């Protein structure tokens, strides 16, 4: 069965509709200042139009499967690990780690790789960061593919970390997170987690694992069948993810309240696709709808009965179709690329 036939059938998992696995063609660490060295990698056709995958979290890093959202014959695929995340160094480094620095790092990477413009692809926090970059550098963006939109408003923060939001839909998961934080009377959840995650010891590791599980518990609550087991993660990876995630959440993701929606006019004229699960409990559809209202030129694709996870086959189908459609209309980003571009087989 071809991949296109798989797209037209009824896949049961995202990996059935993604492009084939492929190896990187280049990788390295870019010194972005402040003691940070940012890991990056490239794959696909080196002279094709460029696409940047922006991972979520904050703090998770990229994986090999993230290359597979793009046709390697028609895209120059670029991935990077944000400051402190994944393979970037120092691991879990919080100094000079904020949204303006991450946007500047993306622009530094574009210049380092000699890319004129690129497509941005991101989900959840990855969508947040892609929006922040596109609103600051719209002339460097050919389009955006966004999934599970998170605009970092106070309402979204209260939904995720307040007792009257997502906690009401999954009280057992909320109690696990709250108990692991060990909040004192009058102390907020995020502040309590911040203290515990930097205290060391068994309680620190338990808080990190609880933070890791919280989003996965919410995604379990979105399903109608038996809940899958949360993915295993070692203590070091969980601690890095949690420290960065809490660092951002307790400071409103280093964005002004409502900033991304207020500046959505910067996106006018840019093509985009917004893919949103109707049952998303991590980033509920209200934020994505608000973004679409402010950026009506983007295509709106709400997937019924789907939640937050990109592994949902219907979500994955829409995301792959979006990058394929952009590839159909994309042109090489420099005159030299226009002269040199030829189809290439995946590694």
Which range is least confidently modeled, 103-112, 189-198, 213-222, 277-286?
213-222
Identify the DSSP state of 183.
Answer: P
Rounded to whole angstroms, the Cα distance separating 43 from 26 reads 7
Tokens for 138, please give them: 């719209």
- The residue with tokens 């993915």 is 231
- CB of 270 closer than 8 Å to CB of 143: yes
User: Quick one: pLDDT band at residue 169, thresholds 50, 70, 90?
Assistant: confident
- Of the candidates 184, 188, 185, 160, the residue with the CA atom closest to the CA atom of residue 174: 160
Rounded to whole angstroms, the Cα distance separating 150 from 290 reads 10
From residue 278, alpha-carbon distances to 14, 131, 226, 286, 298 in Å are 17, 21, 19, 10, 18
- CB of 71 closer than 8 Å to CB of 19: yes
pLDDT for 193 beyond 90: yes
Average pLDDT score over the chain: 90
User: Quick one: pLDDT band at residue 7, thresholds 50, 70, 90?
Assistant: very low
Mean pLDDT of the region 293-316 = 95
- The residue with tokens 């409502």 is 258
pLDDT tens, residue by residue, 321-336:
999 999 999 865 444 5
Report pLDDT for 119: 98
pTM: 0.91
Q: Is 280 helix (H, G, I), strand (E, B) or coil?
A: coil
Active-site residue set:
124, 280, 308
pLDDT for 24 beyond 50: yes
The ranges of the chain annotated as CATH 3.40.50.1820 are 3-152+256-340
pLDDT tens, residue by residue, 41-56:
999 999 999 999 999 9
> How many Cβ atoms sit within 10 Å of the Cβ of residue 62?
22
pLDDT tens, residue by residue, 211-263:
999 988 888 777 665 445 556 678 899 999 999 999 999 999 999 999 999 99
The C-alpha torsion from 274 through 141 and 132 to 123, rounded to 10°, is 40
Is CATH 3.30.9.30 the classification given to domain 3-152+256-340? no
Tokens for 229, please give them: 């087991």
């Amino acid at each position: 069965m071809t991949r296109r036939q798989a797209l037209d059938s009824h896949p049961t998992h995202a990996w059935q509709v993604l492009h084939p696995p492929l190896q990187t063609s280049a990788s390295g660490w870019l010194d972005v200042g402040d003691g940070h060295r940012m890991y990056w990698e490239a794959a696909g056709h080196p002279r094709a139009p460029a696409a940047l995958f922006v991972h979520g979290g904050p703090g998770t890093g990229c994986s090999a499967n993230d290359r597979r959202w793009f046709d390697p014959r028609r895209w120059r695929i670029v991935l990077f690990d944000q400051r402190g995340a994944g393979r970037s160094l120092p691991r879990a480094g919080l100094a000079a780690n904020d949204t303006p620095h991450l946007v500047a790092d993306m622009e530094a990477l574009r210049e380092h790789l000699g890319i004129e413009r690129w497509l941005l692809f991101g989900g959840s926090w990855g969508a947040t960061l892609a929006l922040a970059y596109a609103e600051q550098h719209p002339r460097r963006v050919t389009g955006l593919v966004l999934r599970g939109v998170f605009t970092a408003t106070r309402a979204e923060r209260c939904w995720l970390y307040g007792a009257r939001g997502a906690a009401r839909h999954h009280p057992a998961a909320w109690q696990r997170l709250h108990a692991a934080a060990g909040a004192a009377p009058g102390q907020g959840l995020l502040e309590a987690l911040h203290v515990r995650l930097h205290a060391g010891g068994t309680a620190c590791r338990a808080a990190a694992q609880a933070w890791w599980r919280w989003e996965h518990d919410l995604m379990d609550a979105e399903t109608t069948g038996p809940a899958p087991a949360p993915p295993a993660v070692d203590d070091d990876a969980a601690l890095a993810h949690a420290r960065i995630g809490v660092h951002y959440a307790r400071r409103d993701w280093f964005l002004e309240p409502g900033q991304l929606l207020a500046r959505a006019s910067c996106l006018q004229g840019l093509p985009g696709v917004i893919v949103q699960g109707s049952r998303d409990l991590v980033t509920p559809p209200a934020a994505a709808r608000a973004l679409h209202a402010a950026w009506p030129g983007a295509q709106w694709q709400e997937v019924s009965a789907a939640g937050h996870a990109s592994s949902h086959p219907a979500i994955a189908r829409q995301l792959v179709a979006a990058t394929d459609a952009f590839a159909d209309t994309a042109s090489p980003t420099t005159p030299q690329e226009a002269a040199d571009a030829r189809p290439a087989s995946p590694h």
